Structure 1
Amino acid sequence: MTTQTDHIEITTLVSRLFRTLDERKFAAGWADGYFTGDIRMIAPVGVYDGPAAVRGTEEAGGRFARTQHMASDVLTDVDRASGTARASWNALMVHLHHEAPDPLFTVGGRYEADLRRTDDGWRFSRMSVEAVWTTGRPPVLPSA
């Protein structure tokens, strides 16, 4: 059963993560405030685990001059006995390419996440994003 406190803590974690992505505050150890060490990230560009997921997150932001991530409608379901939770939310993600023309790439998407309660609070252990729609020119991704 989700308590109001759990819901607020998880929603705040989502907001803090999105703000960090937009501000690019990637100092050493930044990810410890958001993810478990075994984080699994599932995105349209691939699946990444642990440190590779963190590096992928940092690299994705670097593909753009600026970004703005907005989350809404966060839903949470907490199992207090096991210290786990599930969350989902809608997202609007606006990306500004380094060069013009056509600088904007916008994504409307849906996130789903599993979380674990740690000694330091809730942390994402799995996160997936699904692009529901896009406009503009997507980034050129490095070849695998």
Structure 2
Amino acid sequence: MDTPLEPQTAVSTLVSRYFRALDERAFETGWTAAFFTEDAAVRAPVGAVRGREAIAAQAEEAVRRFDRTQHMSTDVLVTAAADGATADASWNALMTHLHPDGRIFTVGGRCRAALRRTAGGWRFGDLSITPVWTDGEPPHLPPRA
């Protein structure tokens, strides 16, 4: 099956850059604009949020529970719409987290995204992260309101 390489490459790069931003804690003001549409939604083990500000707050709080993280993605599959304005993507992820006391918590997961092509390039409009397996002790999450 022939698929356009440009959306595949661009979306794969977006996924890698997003995971790298989390690991490097590159959380400058407005950092999510490089990855998400303004009305984007994220569903992750730590909760569901909508909008760039909420996504930033959730991601920053989740990553800062750990001393270090390393997120790796593989097998990014992209299906672009015929008009080239939208795409769907899925990939596997291995997410390793180092607790402050040195214990490791690892998650193997699957990610799915709906993307839109914007003036700035491809952006996530909807992103879900679903754990398939875990090893180690997860962080203690605050009770939900």
TM-score interval, smaller chain:
over 0.9
CA distance in 2, matches of 1:9, 1:130: 23
Structure 1 match to 2:126: 126
* 3-state secondary structure, aligned to 2:77: strand
Contact 1:78 1:84 (8 Å CA) reproduced: yes
**Is 1:67 matched up with 2:85?**
no
Q: Tell me the amino acid that sits aligned with residue 41 of structure 2.
A: R
Compute the displacement of 1:82 (Å): 5.9
CA distance in 2, matches of 1:84, 1:78: 6
Structure 2 match to 1:137: 137
Paired residues in the alignment total 142
Contact 1:19 1:69 (8 Å CA) reproduced: yes
CA distance in 1, matches of 2:82, 2:34: 20
CA distance in 1, matches of 2:42, 2:57: 11
User: Unaligned 5+ residue runs, structure 1?
Assistant: none
Contact 2:114 2:125 (8 Å CA) reproduced: yes
CA RMSD of aligned residues (A): 1.2
Structure 2 match to 1:37: 38
Structure 2 match to 1:25: 26
User: Unaligned 5+ residue runs, structure 2?
Assistant: none
Q: Which runs of 4+ in 1 moved over 3 A?
A: none
TM-score, normalised with respect to structure 1: 0.94
Q: Tell me the amino acid that sits aligned with residue 75 of structure 2.
A: D
Q: Tell me the amino acid that sits aligned with residue 10 of structure 1.
A: V
Compute the displacement of 1:44 (Å): 2.1
Contact 2:32 2:55 (8 Å CA) reproduced: no
CA distance in 2, matches of 1:45, 1:54: 13
Structure 2 match to 1:78: 80
CA distance in 1, matches of 2:91, 2:84: 22
CA distance in 1, matches of 2:125, 2:8: 17
Output one character per residue of 1:92-141: Cα deviation in whole Å (capped at 9) or x when no partner. Answer: 000000124xx100000000000000000000010001100000010011
